[in-house]
Every structure is written in C-alpha cells, then in structure tokens.
Structure 1
Amino acid sequence: MASFIPFFFITMALLISPAYSLTCTSQTFTQKNTRFTNCTDLPVLKAYLHWTYDSTAKPKPTLSVAFIAPPAKPDGWVAWALNPTGTGMAGAQSLLAFKESNGSVVLKTYNISSYSSIVQSKLFYDVLDKKAEFSGGSMRIFAKLALPNDATELNQVWQVGAAVKNGMPEKHDFGPDNLNSKGTLSLVSEAATATPTLAPAPAPTSGSGIGGQNGNESGGSSRIGVHVAFVLLFASLLLGF
C-alpha cells in the first residue's frame, strides 16, 4: 500500500493545479484599487464577470459589475444584461457597448422587450453609474445597478455581435455558444463566502439578435469543487477507506 502513496499525491497535485483555477482572478483593471468581491469565468463567448453585491446600500441594495468579452469582430459589440422576467433574451435589461466611427467607446441601455424589438431606453433597474472601455481586443463594461430589496438570485444574459450599423447593433450569430450565454447569479450564497480580489484586463481574444442564452454564474468555482471531490473519491478508493 505504501508504494501507492507517492502516486496518490502526484495525482492529487495534477488534479488541483493552476489549470483549473479561475482565469478572472488574475485580471487587473486600469483603475487603481478597483475591487470586486466575486468573479467567474463565464462558460461561453470567452466572457468574464466581476461583481460585488452590497446588501446594506441605501435606499436599495446595489450590484457593481465589470463584464469583459471580445466582440465577434473588432467593430462589433458586447452586451451584459439582467432579466427580471425570464431566462433568455426577451425581457433582458441590457448594457451594450461598442466603438463609434471616431473610435470612442459608448455604453447604451436597451430594453429587449421581445425577440423582434430592440429599444434604447431606461432599464427596469436604476443604473447609478456606467462606462465602457476597449483594450487588448476585449470590451469592458462597468456598471452599478440598484436592485430590489428582496433580490437573492438574478437571471443574467450576455452576448457578442459582429457589427453595428447607424448606431444600432446588428444581430448576433446563433451558434451553440450564443444560444447558451445565460445563467443564474446567486447574490446571497456567493457574496457571503467570497473575499475581495483585485480585478480586469484579459489577454487579447476573439469571439460572435442580442441577448443569448446556459451557463451558471458559479460555473467557474464549481469546476474546482468537482476536481476536489474527485481527489477525495480517488483517495478513498486507493487507500481502502
């Protein structure tokens, strides 16, 4: 049995390796001392979300986010949204960023009332602050939203598109990644256990109507838990526990 012990620890070291760590934890923002309590590598479209939920903010709790993703093409757009009425595109309250013809980056708000209606308007959630940047091939959306007092879980949707025409985003692709760009953001369970980390500027990447659709927000951290569970199972089988 003793001869198996070194093999076990080598296997465990390989399983719990940096390769399974969250990429977002190594990202840094250009603004000094910018911190978010949580971050996750979203499962599709090479996207990342950094966020902090402040349940004590008055008059309403707030959610501060930094969403990072490459547009499908350099002149395309990226969007991140919360949907108070569903899990997909229809009903999404979207923050959408793109570069204008003069090269400046703009961030606009859209109420995606239906799959055929994309209307620039105020959102269901009060937007207390917002801005966007483009760096290293990726667009970065920063926003602070006021949330309902009873919010515990939110439906989030994210998307990328290839073109903007006359100031309006063109339709995105409808590949598997675009159709699975949605998930649940659990405010209470994750915020209660997380510690603040420095956050954005991802390495250059490339990515492709608005508002996609699967992927749980906690998908990144859950992957680490799966590997740890596998290690424990492996140990018990190997050592005869």
Structure 2
Amino acid sequence: MASLPFSALSLFFSLCVLLVSPTHSLTCTSQKFTGNKSYSNCTDLPNLNSYLHYTYNSTNSSLSVAFIASPAKPGGWIGWGINPNGTGMAGAQVILALKSSKGAPEVKTYNLVSYSDIREEKLSFDVWDLSAETNATSGEFTIFASVKVPGKKTESVNHIWQVGAAVNKGKPGKHEFAAENKDAKATLKLAAAAQETGKTAATTTTPASGSSNTTATGGGKKVGVSGLRR
C-alpha cells in the first residue's frame, strides 16, 4: 500500500517537469528576427513575460531596441519607454504598439506627464526607425525603435514597459495594477553594453524588484515622429 502513493507522487512530479520546463527554458537568446535585424545584448525582463534586445552606440549616444511582449488580451497593446527624470511611469516617454483595425499593430508615441495626464505626442528626445510586428502563432508584439539617449555621458537609463488588454477608438485602455504591472521598471546599464568595433558585450538590468537574466546575442534613415497631440 505504501508504494502506491509514492508512484502517484513520482508521476505527478514527472508531469510537472514536462509541463513547466518548456516555458521556463524560453529566454531571449532563442528569439530571432527577420531581415538583417540583430542586437548586441538581450535581457529577460523580470515582469510581464517580456524581453528587450538592444544595442547601445556610445559614439552618438543612440540605443536601438526590440521590445517583445504579449498584450494582456488579443485586442490589446504593449509599450516600452524611457523615463529621463524618474524611475516610474509618471514622466516617462513611451512607444506603444496597439492592435489596429487592420490587424497589424500600429505604433504611437506618448508622453506620460502624470497618471492622469497621458498625451499622444512627439517624445522629448529623438526617435527613428519606428515599426512593430506581430507573431501570428504566439500573439506577441515586437516594437522596433532607435532613440537618442537623453543626457550627456549617460551610463544608464531608467526604462519601463507595460501591457494592456484593450484599444478603444485607437487609444490604449488602462492596464492592470497588479504587482507585476507596478514593478515593470528597471535600470538599463548602457556603459557595460557599449559595443566596440568587432565586439559584443553582455550587460545587465537592475530591476525595481525581482531579477532578470541578461546575455549577449550578437548587432537609417532618421524619421521624426510627427506630433499627435490629443
């Protein structure tokens, strides 16, 4: 009689390993991009099942990124941005990919003046090569962008990311305020990520809470984002 519970328990744990391992083994290093897009570094962000691929060019203080996440629901949105003067959402300059009526995600830029004052407008720093795409299989969105890092001799930036469930008349609906939503912020260390000629470098992010794994992965025409003030 004693062997039956042990066998059942062994089977249970074996099934758990089979079910959990594929998800836990997924990291940014397994993600590939079409065309000639490549980045020097990537990090598994600590919240919202999201990822950031990036290359920092110290010669002109520009940061090229690919942010990957799934909207909270299929008809929702994802966003990534930089807060030049703080560590949270208020004051952040963000890029959003929103589900559009045409199916493909639409890219917009927002100034989060405060939690109650969100303006669709040009960012406070230069941004170019903006685009977004969706993975029909996984439902993930990817935002591509290059930004001029604000400030001189900047060694790090405070970045944020978020996902939402709905888009209403072309505008993002409110996101959830669970712990993982509130903690979707970190410090991205650029000094360690600076790419020298013919070399790549691994770097790290310092999350507001939790932890993240970072590793090296290998990495136009400038177009201004027109003002879209509400």
Please indicate the TM-score interval, normalised by the length of the shorter structure. Answer: 0.7 to 0.9
Letter in 2 for 1:221: T
Q: Quick check: 1:92 aligned with 2:92?
A: yes
Counterpart AA for 1:53: Y
2:58 counterpart (45, 55, 59): 55
Write out per-residue CA displacement over residues 118-148 of structure 1, whole angstroms, 9 at most, x where no aligned residue. 1011111200221001113101000001123
Amino acid at match of 1:161: G
In 2, Cα distance between equivalents of 1:53 and 1:120: 26
Q: 2:178 aligns with which of 147, 167, 175?
A: 175
For the 8 Å contact 1:62–1:146, the answer to whether it is kept is yes
Deviation at 1:68, TM superposition (A): 0.1
CA deviation after TM superposition for structure 1 residue 186, in Å: 0.4
Confirm or deny: 8 A CA contact 2:79 2:162 kept in the other structure.
Answer: yes
Contact 1:84 1:91 in 2 (8 A): yes
Q: Is 1:140 matched with 2:142? A: yes
Greater share of residues in helix: 1
3-state SS in 1 of match to 2:90? coil
* Matched residue, 2:208: 214
Point out the more displaced range, 20-29 or 35-44: 20-29
**Corresponding residue number in structure 2 for 1:165:** 168
Secondary structure of the residue that 1:178 maps to in structure 2? Answer: helix
Q: Hey, what's the Cα distance between the residues in 1 that align with 2:25 and 2:154?
A: 29
Distance 1:20 1:156 in 2: 24
- TM-score, normalized by length of structure 1? 0.71
In the aligned structure 2, how far is the partner of 1:168 from the partner of 1:182? 22
Query: Residue 221 of structure 2 corresponds to which residue in structure 1?
Result: none
Q: How many residues align?
A: 185
2:49 is equivalent to residue 46 of structure 1? yes
- Counterpart amino acid of 2:208? N
Q: What is the letter of the counterpart of residue 190 of structure 1? A: A
- Looking at structure 2, the residues matched to 221 and 83 of structure 1 have their Cα atoms a distance apart, in angstroms, of 21
Q: Would you say the 8 A contact 1:161–1:172 is kept in 2?
A: yes
How many angstroms does 1:171 deviate by?
0.4
- Residue aligning to 2:73: 73
What's the CA shift for 1:219? 2.3
RMSD of aligned Cα (Å):
2.5
Distance change in 2, residues 1:19/1:166 (3 Å): closer
Superposition misfits of 4+ residues, deviation over 3 angstroms:
18-22, 190-194
5+ residue gaps, structure 2, are 1-21, 216-230
- What secondary structure, in the 3-state scheme, does the structure 2 residue paired with 1:158 have? strand
Whether the aligned pair in 2 keeps the contact of 1:179 and 1:214 (CA below 8 Å) is no
Q: Which runs of 5+ in 1 are unaligned?
A: 1-17, 198-212, 223-241
Distance 1:40 1:102 in 2: 31
Closer/same/farther in 2, CA of residues 20 and 44 from structure 1, 3 Å limit: same
Q: Which amino acid aligns with 1:26?
A: S
Aligned to 2:28: 24
Q: Could you tell me which residue of structure 2 aligns to residue 4 of structure 1?
A: none
Q: How does 1:83-162 map to 2 (within 5 A)?
A: 83-135=83-135, 136-147=138-149, 148-162=151-165
| Secondary structure at the counterpart of residue 221 of structure 1 | strand
